Chains A and B, each alone.
Chain A
Amino acid sequence: MLFKILEVYARPDFPEKLRQHIVLSLVALLVAIAIAMPVALLIRNTRVGALIAINIGNIGRAVPSLAILALALPFFGIGFGSALVALTALAIPPILINASTGLREVNKDVISAARGMGLSGGQILARIQLPIAAPVIFAGIRTSAVQTVASATLATFIGGGGLGDLIVEGYSRRGPEILLAGALAVAILAIITEIGFGILERVFTPKGLKIAQKRGS
């Protein structure tokens, strides 16, 4: 069985499926960051903004990923682009909710101190709020990334390609080795994403914050 699975990975179309999966996930994640981060920055000082972010986050959690992908079908048609739109929509809520709460939870005294030192609003954002909120923001991006890689598996149902193609092929043609090869590739990709973004999260935690965390624990 193992040999048969490896044979699937040696197929000429496997690199293409893998590439599609990664491109789908990565582009959706980047576009979602590009949309969610400015919104989080814009609403960081308003109460209504926080409420909106939390509600978008909650609704985003409640809408099944398959539902979003399937709904893209009647509106945007079959294919890669349609899957990309759906995956982007799925990737936004975790980033938005974490960025918004992360920025809001920066200690007010710290901001007052920075203002007292003569820092401008932009400087406070760049040098105080963003670095302190960075771990929380990255946790949101990590959640979103893992979720996007998982949901990209479903892109196959609307003709978006990716590794899900192998699962569907194996399932419909009753080829257990193709089914397992696809499933294992997706699972490994998801776990690599989880670990990789975990490392990124640690890298982007400012040194001072790490010391504070250690003292706290």
Chain B
Amino acid sequence: MSNPALLLLQDVLDEPKLIDWEWIKDNFWEDIVPAIQGHIFLSVISVAVALAIALPVGILSARYRKAYPPVTFVTGVLYSIPSLALFAILISIPGVAIGPSPVIIALVAYSLLILIRNTVAGLDSVPPETKDAARGMGLTDRQILFRVELPLALPIIVAGIRIATVTIIGIATIGAYINGGGLGTLIFDGIGRQFPTMIIAGAVLATALAIIADLLLLALERYLRPWARVRRT
């Protein structure tokens, strides 16, 4: 047994069970389902709050160009702070207790850059002629924004939501470390108990959740881009 690769293989084979199906069956309703629900809750709330901030900021940045570079700078710095570090910084602030709130704040901070960038890119993609035509038809600025620009920008905004959601679902797993709940709880408990089944269940379900969200939002993106669909067929 001098070959290290063989030793490694032996280790895996010696593992009594990589996936203990009994455990999954026994703990499905108490542990796994609440973890999935918690994860969806964290992700949906975070994306919703982030959108409520990013849409107005994006619309304003598209209008007042001077504001755009500082906005991308601040959100860019937030985006590049590693999540575990951001969680640690947030819970160091007096009055912020561990739990879902700092996790949601951090997840919102991470999605801002992507969402604002795509909102601005979406609004920029509306041809000036289209806006001129709308103005010629007698629409006010506000009507142009809501009836022409935003609907046309929507596919690009949704593309941003898609990237942000997938990113958030991944980072949310780390939030379990500061008691944020979600599927990361299974992963951390699995590491703590040296129990591979929990690690694998958490990892696989978090990945599956991210892929499902990705596909659903991709479908939405396609649906919102009827002109692209027509070309395809």
Asked if residues A70 and B191 are in contact (CB atoms below 8 Å), the reply is: yes
Query: A191 contacts B174, CB within 8 Å?
Result: no
What are the interface flags for A136-150 relative to B under an 8 Å C-beta threshold, 1 for contact and 0 otherwise?
000000000010011
Q: Which of A7-63 contact B (CB under 8 A)?
A: 58-59, 61-63
Q: Which residue of B lies closest to A151 (CB)?
A: B82
The answer to the question of B2 belonging to the interface, with a C-beta cut-off of 8 Å to chain A, is: no
Query: Given A75-B12, A149-B82, is A62 in contact with B88 using a C-beta cutoff of 8 Å?
Result: no
CA distance A115 to B77 in the complex (A): 44
Q: A61 to chain B: which residues have CB within 8 Å? A: 166-167, 210
Chain B residues with CB under 8 Å of A153's CB are: 82, 84-85
User: Beyond A70-B190, A73-B199, A74-B15, is A64–B173 a contact (Cβ under 8 Å)?
Assistant: yes
Among residues of A, the one whose C-beta sits closest to the C-beta of B204 is A67
CA distance A7 to B102 in the complex (A): 27
CB of A26 to closest CB in B, whole Å: 16
Of the listed stretches A97-105, A116-124, A179-187, chain B binds A179-187
Kindly report which residue of chain A lies nearest to residue B206, judged by CB atoms.
A64
Closest to A156 in B: B84
Q: In the complex, A58 Cα to B214 Cα: how many Å?
A: 9
Cβ contacts under 8 Å, A73 to chain B: 191, 196, 199
A63–B210 contact, CB under 8 A? Answer: yes
**Chain B hits for A157, CB < 8 A:** 188, 191
Instruction: State the total of A-B contacts with C-beta under 8 angstroms.
Output: 119
- For A74, A184, A190, the residue with the greatest tally of chain B CB atoms inside 10 Å of its CB is A74
Q: CB < 8 Å: which of A63, A66, A180 contacts B184?
A: A66
Residues 119-147 (chain B) with a chain A CB within 8 angstroms: none
Contact of B187 among A59, A70, A146, A180 (CB under 8 A): A70
Q: Is B18 on the interface with A (CB-CB < 8 A)?
A: yes
Chain A residues near B169 (CB-CB < 8 A):
62, 64
Given contacts A62-B170, A70-B199, A180-B88, contact A187 B82 (CB under 8 A): yes
Count residues on chain B whose CB falls below 8 Å from chain A CBs.
42
Q: How far is the CA of A140 from the CA of B188 in the complex (A)?
A: 30
Q: Given A62-B211, A64-B207, A70-B202, A186–B84 Cβ distance below 8 Å? A: yes
Closest to A152 in B: B82
- Is the beta-carbon distance between B207 and A63 smaller than 8 angstroms? yes
Interface residues of B in 71-111 (CB under 8 A from A): 77, 80-86, 88-89, 91-92
Partner of A187, one of B81, B91, B199, B204: B81
State in angstroms the CA–CA spacing of A63 and B191 once bound together: 18
B8 touches A76 (CB 8 A): yes
The answer, yes or no, to whether B11 is at the interface (CB within 8 Å) is yes
Q: How far apart are the CA atoms of A91 and B120 in the complex, in Å?
A: 29
Which segment, of A106-114, A125-133, A164-172, A204-212, faces chain B?
A: A164-172
List A residues at the B interface (Cβ < 8 Å). Answer: 58-59, 61-68, 70-71, 73-77, 146, 149-151, 153-154, 157-158, 164, 167, 170-171, 176, 179-180, 182-184, 186-187, 190-191, 194
In order of increasing CB-CB distance, the 10 nearest A-B pairs are A67-B203, A150-B82, A64-B170, A74-B196, A183-B88, A183-B85, A62-B210, A186-B85, A187-B81, A66-B173
Interface residues of B (CB under 8 A from A): 8, 11-12, 15, 18, 77, 80-86, 88-89, 91-92, 166-167, 169-171, 173-174, 177-178, 184, 187-188, 190-191, 196, 199-200, 202-204, 206-207, 210-211, 214
